[in-house]
Amino acid sequence: MSFAPGTRVTVRNDWPEAKGVKVHIRTPHFVRGKTGRIETLIGEFGDPEFLAIGRKDAPKRALYMVVFDRADLFPGTNAHNETMTADLYENWLEAAP
């Protein structure tokens, strides 16, 4: 699946690190379960969750810059005209309903 710029996407609300397995996740906790939109496709990179444990067979994943309204990420904070971006791998993104 690939996402075009402007597509609304939701970050998987998944917490592998809470399952007691030693993992390295590059998806910040504060964007999980949140909806933003694709700014751009950055390119294809090895999945850091594999690279972090020294695996040479890390699958390549599309990496997107995703932009969020900051007010959605930290409700209750004064976030007028503030956005934030995170670079997220495709396996963490789902098309938003």
Partner 1 sequence: MSGDHHDHLHTHDDHAPVGATEPRPEYARLERAVRELLIAKGVLTAEDIRKQIELMDSRTPAMGAKIVARAWVDPAFKARLMANAKAAADEMGVDTSNSATVVALENTPERHHVVVCTLCSCYPKAILGVPPAWYKSSAYRARTVKEPRKVLAEFGTSLPEGTEIRVVDSTADMRYLVVPMRPAGTEGWSEDRLAALVGRDSMIGTALADTPKN
Partner 2 sequence: MGGIEPFASQPIDRAEHELSEFDKRVDALVNLLSHPSRALMRVDEMRNSIESLPPDEYDRTLYYEKWIHAVAEIMVAKDVIGEEELVLKLADLKEEDGEEA
Q: Which residues would be at the binding site for partner 1 (CB under 8 A)? A: 26-28, 30, 42-43, 45, 48, 63, 65, 67, 70, 73-74, 77, 80-89
C-alpha pair distances (Å), 55 with each of 19, 35, 63: 21, 31, 19
- Number of residues assigned to the chain: 97
Interacting residues with partner 2 between 61 and 80 (CB under 8 A)? 73-74
Residue 56: burial class (beta carbons within 10 Å; 0-12, 13-18, 19+): exposed
**Contact between 11 and 33 (Cβ < 8 Å):** yes
Answer with the entry of partner 1, partner 2, none that 53 interacts with (C-beta below 5 to 8 A by kind).
partner 2
Question: Closer to partner 2 at the Cβ: 7 or 48?
Answer: 48
Question: Closer to partner 1 at the Cβ: 77 or 97?
Answer: 77
**Contact between 60 and 2 (Cβ < 8 Å):** no
Q: Does 15 bind partner 2 (CB under 8 A)?
A: no
Question: Closer to partner 1 at the Cβ: 7 or 48?
Answer: 48
Q: Least distance from C-beta 93 to partner 1, angstroms? A: 13
